[in-house]
Amino acid sequence: MEFGIWSNGFRPHESAHRSYDEDIAEIVLADQLGYEVAYISEHHGEAPYINRVDTIPAPDLMMCKAAGLTQRIRMGAAVKLIHLYHPLDVAIQAAVTDHLIGDDRYIFGFGSGFPLALLSNERGLGFEDRHERLYESLDFILKCWTEDAPFDWDGTHWKGEGVISLPKPLAKPHPRMATATESDPMLKICGERGYTLLSAFLEPADMLREKAVKYAAAGYAAGRMRPRSDISASRIVYVADSREQAIDDLRDAVAFETQVQGERGFLKMLEKLYGLVVPPDRNAIDALAESGLYILGEPDQVAEEIEAFFHTSGGFGTFLYVTGKDWATREKRERSLTRFMEEVAPQLRDLEPAETAA
């Protein structure tokens, strides 16, 4: 098993500058500690965030700065909402980012994101056809990266005449690819092509298991030998001297985040999709810890819970530790990241997903 971080930026508003510095400091520390990859969430402005929460809507920019401060950690968006932008601009920005980061460290992470109509409406785009736009965008982007001659694009959702996309990506034929998806057709595409499958930290193990079966089946059919190793699963993790201390350290910050998430309808979605009831108050951390979606406590306990998650979900190749939160203090957050790699990861590193072609 490999280990990475999922920088799910959500910090109480002081300034975006301060929040981005905190996010980057965690990526730098993760690089120093030996985490293999950092995925950065793309979060856009919403009414409940105004003057309350700092998020990052342009993760490629953060990656470019972080690349100059790190040595080896790979970086990608989780995920870039490619249905919101013209594919030519997405292709160019990604190619430039690939060159700036270099050393095969850039990952093109894409997806449709949280189902919020506002993001499409702000841009004069339809919401119900966002998945159709995404599929067409992906095809357009791939052509931009691989077609040398100017071309026309006369699609259902996107148009282009004499398209010239420069530079081409540094990685050939294109950067590493990753997506988070609930769609059977996209699971098939990802499985066949070897795109990394990202699983969000609030996704139950049985749901990941169901998706992993479809993803792996497509991979085996395409001749891939170990498709499950390209699944990345995530959880909120916090390593402390005890579970009680961990819960106490996170209580206030989790209460703040769940209150904001409640205002944007996210908690209702959790209840509808996963049957998880999370109160938007100081009791939220208790419900989340009990659910197993937050894995908290001393190192042996954290390792045991992650291993149980691994087996229940059917196995995965990379575990992503969620960062980007203002849990407790910066010193305690860094201590947790460090203890995870020093005391938890060694207990899990030999885990490998069982690969059985159906």
Q: What is the pLDDT of residue 33?
A: 98
Q: Does pLDDT of 273 surpass 90?
A: no
Q: 16-33 and 59-67 helices cross at what angle (nearest 10)?
A: 50
Q: Find, among 280, 263, 248, the residue nearest to 53 by Cα.
A: 263
Distance between CA atoms of residues 300 and 196, nearest Å = 28
Domains in the chain, ordered, with CATH? 2-78+180-348 (3.20.20.30)
Q: Contact 28/66 with Cβ under 8 angstroms?
A: yes
- Give the CA radius of gyration of the chain: 20
Note whether 185 and 158 are within 8 A (CB): no
Over the stretch 299-356, which tens digit does the pLDDT of each residue have? 999 999 999 999 999 999 999 999 999 999 999 999 999 999 999 999 999 999 988 6
As a whole number, the mean pLDDT across the chain is: 96
The DSSP element (H or E) to which 63 belongs, if any, is helix 59-67
The DSSP bridge pattern shows strands 159-163 and 151-154 to be: antiparallel
Pairing of strands 294-297, 318-325: unpaired
Q: Which amino acid is at 320?
A: L
Question: Does residue 357 carry a pLDDT above 60?
Answer: no
pLDDT the model gives residue 329: 96
Tell if the pTM clears 0.95, that is, is over it: yes
Q: How far apart are CA 56 and CA 44, in angstroms?
A: 7
Specify the pLDDT at position 356: 67
Distant-in-sequence, close-in-space partners of 352: CB < 8 Å, separation ≥ 6: 1, 229, 315, 317
Residues 105-133 pLDDT 10s = 999 999 999 899 999 999 999 999 999 99
Burial 143-173 (b: 16+ CB within 10 A, else e): bbbeeeeeeebeeebbebeebebeebbbbee
Mean pLDDT to the nearest integer, 80-104 = 98
Residue whose token pair is 């961990």: 246
Q: Quick one: DSSP state of residue 107?
A: E
Residue 179: name the closest of 192, 194, 193, 198 by CA. Answer: 198
- The mean pLDDT of 53-61, rounded to a whole number, is 97
Residue 270 clears pLDDT 90, i.e. is over it = no
Backbone angles phi, psi at 129, to 5 degrees: -100, 20
- The DSSP code for 281 is S
CB 278 within 8 Å of CB 284: yes
Residue 248 per-residue DSSP state = H
